[in-house]
Structures are given as structure tokens and as C-alpha cells.
Chains A and B, each alone.
Chain A
């Protein structure tokens, strides 16, 4: 079956611009996560959705970052007024959302802010 799909795979933007990153989770998975991975580090938690609602957004670095999942499936991570420090790989993952189950990751969006 289809895995987690993320678009675009690469995004280059100028400092100060607005970007949207899209995630299409595995069909039927109720839990959706966004992580950010910087060079030489492991993925860092940003936000977790259970269904349509953000159950935990404690990892979002500041109010320039926002994510939505309006219909409980596709999610969009939105970054306003991008800064060079936002450059990283943004990973989306989904899981069935019940009990202990591994997260299934997409291939990520590599964001470069120039």
C-alpha cells in the first residue's frame, strides 16, 4: 500500500517568505506527527494530531509555525516569515493511533531558506 507522502520534496525560499509543506498520511491512520531534522541530529518533535485536533503542539519553536489537519487526513505545516535557521528536513509520520505502534515516516521536505 501507499506510504506517507510529502510534497514538495525540496523547497528553496527567501528569508521572510511564507511556505507550506504538505503531508498525506497512510490511509486510516488517525495519528499524524511533524518532526524536524537538522544536519547531524535526530528528528525533533514539532506537533502531534489525533484526528483533526492538535493534541500536542509543544514542539513548535515559535508562533511563526502552525499546522492544520482539517479533515483528519492530509496535514499542512505552515511557516511564516521564514528565517535561515528554519532550514532543515521536515518529516511527517503517521500511525494507527492505538497502543504502542511504530511511526511510519515520509521521505521529508528539505527546506532551504536563503
Chain B
């Protein structure tokens, strides 16, 4: 029962352009949403989060948008840089437990 879904397994974007990653969830009890970034042979690293009482949170080049009625969130990265090439995981939390999507591999082309 996958409660968090990332339907795009991969995304290729040119350096300097915007990367948009999407995530859908099914559990209406989720109240905290996060994005993690993962490089090979490393653990996931926290990137940005948003509480269910907000619809947008921005941190530098990263912005997360939450649409609760659609049970959808997205991550915008602008401008995309070569170091952004990684796997991005969407995660959602109810109380203490995080549920993760399957990830989207982002490749930033020079």
C-alpha cells in the first residue's frame, strides 16, 4: 500500500533551467511533508519541508508547494546546477513515521 507516489522515475534538465518534481499522496492524515536528496552510497539528506498549514515554503533555490485538496506537492529547483544531479525522495509524515516515494532521478545537463 504505497501512500506516497512519485510517478516520474527520472527527469533531465539543462543547467540553469527549472527542475519540477512532483509527488502525490493518499493519506489525508499526513501533516508534514519533506524532500530528501540522495547521492550514490550516501544516506538521504534533508532538503526542505512544509507543514500542512502552509501552501508554500522557500529556501534559496528550492521551493516546495503543497496542494492539500489535490493531495499533491511539488519541488521547484531554480536555477538547476550540476550538483543537483541526484535522486530526490518525497516523504510524508503522520505523527512520527515518514513514508517515502520511490524517488525521481534528476540529471542536470551542462
Contacts and interface: CB of A to CB of B under 8 A. Distances in A.
Given A41-B102, A100-B51, A107 B96 contact: no
Range of interface residues on chain B?
20 to 34
Contact of B98 (A40, A41, A103): A103
| Secondary structure call for the B interface | strand
Contact of A107 (B41, B97, B100): B41
Given A45-B99, A48-B96, A100-B51, 20 more contacts: A4-B43, A35-B100, A40-B102, A41-B103, A42-B4, A42-B6, A42-B89, A42-B91, A42-B101, A43-B44, A43-B89, A43-B100, A56-B97, A91-B44, A100-B32, A100-B93, A104-B46, A105-B45, A106-B43, A107-B41
Interface of B: 4, 6, 31-32, 34, 36, 41-46, 49, 51, 89, 91, 93, 96-103
